[in-house]
Amino acid sequence: MIQVEPKTKWFEKTVQAIRSVTGPGKIALHQPEFCGNEWAYVKECLDSTFVSSVGEFVDRFERELAVYTGAKHAVAVVNGTAALQVALLLAGVEPGDEVLVPALTFVATANAVHHCHANPHFVDSSEQTLGLDPDALRAWLESTVEMIHGKARNRQTGCRIQAVVPMHTFGHPCDMDGILRVAKEYNLSVVEDAAESLGSLYQGKHTGTFGQLGTLSFNGNKTITTGGGGAILTNDPELARKAKHLSTTAKLAHRWEFVHDEAGFNYRMPNLNAALGCAQLERLPGFVSKKRELADRYGKALAGFDQLELVREPFECQSNYWLQTIRLKGDGVGHRDSLLSVLNDAGLMARPVWRLMPRLEPYRQCPRAPLPVAENLEETLVNIPSSPCLVAGA
């Protein structure tokens, strides 16, 4: 007699495989770790009374971020969304413009465009990188855009397309060479959303340092956290100066006068958060190596499944593996939601990838390219527990 395996047997095997890596108990998707100088620096900050908009930890955090990423300048701000908004403004995005954004991203990328009174224009992703696909982008622009006075214009909407925002999904760098080439052809500014990829390298160079500007996030679930926070990276000293100016109320330096030369933002990172950030940054290399080790362990535990595979870093890239990701394949396709409930029921926190931006109410009417790959990724990607503490050791 032929023994027929129940159709969902592989769900149990998946739980066992993930458990073999995480160990027992309820396992979070991503939890921060404060095992270094966090208490010391935060206490030092409290003792100094400089907890807010003035203090040395902000300068230090910015300096150390620049050193770590290899960017010439880093400007710390209140969160990653604010960082993106300011970066887009400095990249020349004006009200009514369109900005090319992956349909598959966290909502903050689209929100930042919206906050500039511009419109996100959604484009497709790559199977290999999970980020913007430069070939699909070029094909789409060829069919939709005309160049007028050296600027790209969307023939359908009549709007100028000013910038493109590649995002390094779950820490995996996207094809920056290809994206920079298309951006050059269409005279687009490049603002990299590197919120998820602190510690990730593309061809040996840190993500977020390829475009005119790049942005980071230090939200509680990111690779390092400042509570809430973000930063703008750039190699251009003038853009760095403007980023600082615009994010700190656009106040002209003076010993006592309050003179502001434009309507600036109050987006400066408080010193208290920067104190936490300085301590977290010291731990970053350790976090990244633990996350990479975790990917190796999951990779081994999940090898041999016909229904799914672990997403690995793209060619010529070193990923921080911010969120570990499995992708359904073969018979596994179509079972995302069942797998999610089995994993979560088993105490293993798992999440689907974000709903595609054009399917969200605020962005339904926005222009978009065909999105076959993003639609497939939306149905097949599942994030599994990714905390560095799942790997023992200092």
Query: What is the binding site for ligand PLP (CB under 6 A)?
Result: 79-81, 105-106, 108-109, 167, 193, 195-196, 217, 219, 230
Tokens of 345: 């029921």
Whose Cβ is closer to ligand PLP: residue 167's or residue 302's? Answer: 167
Q: How many helices (H) and strands (E) does the chain have?
A: 11, 16
Whose Cβ is closer to ligand PLP: residue 224's or residue 326's? Answer: 224
Task: Say if residues 271 and 56 touch (Cβ distance below 8 Å).
Answer: yes
Tokens of 86: 């300011």
Q: Which of 341, 369, 347, 390 is nearest to 135 (CA)?
A: 369
Residue nearest to ligand PLP (CB): 80
CB of 169 to ligand PLP, least distance (A): 8
CB of 154 to ligand PLP, least distance (A): 24
CB of 354 to ligand PLP, least distance (A): 8
CB of 223 to ligand PLP, least distance (A): 10
Q: Which of 299, 290, 262, 226 is nearest to 78 (CA)?
A: 226
CB of 232 to ligand PLP, least distance (A): 12
Q: Which residues of 153-163 are buried (b: 16+ CB within 10 A; e: fewer)?
A: bbeeeebbbbb
* Residues contacting residue 292 through CB under 8 Å, at least 6 positions apart: 319, 320, 321
CB of 17 to ligand PLP, least distance (A): 26
Pairing of strands 381-384, 213-217: unpaired
Conformation bin of residue 122: beta by default, left when phi > 0, alpha when psi is -120 to 50: beta
